[in-house]
Amino acid sequence: TAILELKNVTKRYGGDTALDGLSVTLEANEYISLLGPSGSGKSTLLRVIAGFEKPDAGEVLLEGRSLAQVPAYRRGIGFVSQGFALFPHLSVFENVAFGLRNREDDPLQDAAELRRRVDEMLALVGLSDLGERGIDQISGGQKQRVALARTLVADPKIILLDEPLGALDANLRARMRVELRRIRQQLGITFMHVTGNEEEALAMGDRVAVLDSGRLAQISDPDSVYNRP
Ligand code: ADP
Ligand code: ADP
């Protein structure tokens, strides 16, 4: 069943057409890798799905409902950006807790419940021992995991990843790939993962989408990406 559907989505910036009548459907629990040259519209696509940008034309449907009709806090869409955007003055624990404490519809105030939820997510990403550390006292790979835990703790249905592994060294990338796969299997979340790394796209995706000039040049399972008739 479709969890997310884009129909003929166009987004322009002045004279630039970042998305050009793009249509794509994501099934629940699938992992889509998104490839494409710089400037092809990958980040714009994620921002439109996240609701940070409004399309000039076309529509975005979330489980059949227009994104515009669903309040942001009920969309269940999480975003992990390239720079992680963590709060540098807060601890690892507080970074993960922040969203729950400040939930728009229903702030979580029960301290014991908050601790339980945050500890569970820190364990899931392998950071159980680092909750009290400051953000400047952990490595790049650990920051990446904090960003992931902070997104996961909100219990999203869809996670958008914007080159989340780009800043990591090869070893760490490989480890994070395995962890992303495990998390996905454990939690059953739909992923859209922008990466500049073809090998990573093929290894991670159930389907690989290739953007070119704001259009979907191709979308297929990884085995057929290079074997088209
Ligand atoms: P990618 O993520 O594939 O590199 P982007 O989505 O960032 O591509 O950009 C697609 C096109 O839209 C580019 O031509 C880019 O210059 C333009 N664009 C993206 N964001 C903005 C913006 N905020 N203001 C102006 N132009 C933008
Ligand atoms: P605001 O200025 O209040 O943030 P926007 O101009 O960003 O509102 O958006 C206006 C309406 O369009 C809002 O209801 C918003 O939820 C909706 N909207 C924003 N992004 C999208 C999108 N990608 N697809 C469909 N609707 C969107």
Q: Which residues line ligand 1 (CB under 6 A)?
A: 13, 16, 18, 36, 38-44
Cβ contacts of 110 within 8 Å, gap of 6 or more: none
What ipTM score was computed for the predicted complex, to two decimals?
0.67
State the residue for tokens 């922040």: 98
Average pLDDT for residues 37-45, to the nearest whole number? 95
Gap from CA of 53 to ligand 2 centroid (Å): 7
Residue 226 and residue 229: Cα distance in Å, rounded? 9
pLDDT (0 to 100) of residue 227: 62
pLDDT (0 to 100) of residue 42: 96
pLDDT at 20 over 90: yes
Pick the atom of ligand 2 nearest to 49's CA: 23
pLDDT band at 228 (very low <50, low <70, confident <90, very high): low
Q: Which residues of 45-68 are buried (b: 16+ CB within 10 A; e: fewer)?
A: bbbbbbbebebeebebbbeeeebe
pLDDT digits (tens, 9 = 90+) for 76-105: 999 998 777 899 999 999 999 998 998 888
Ordered strands of the 31-35 beta sheet? 77-80, 158-162, 190-194, 31-35, 207-212, 215-220
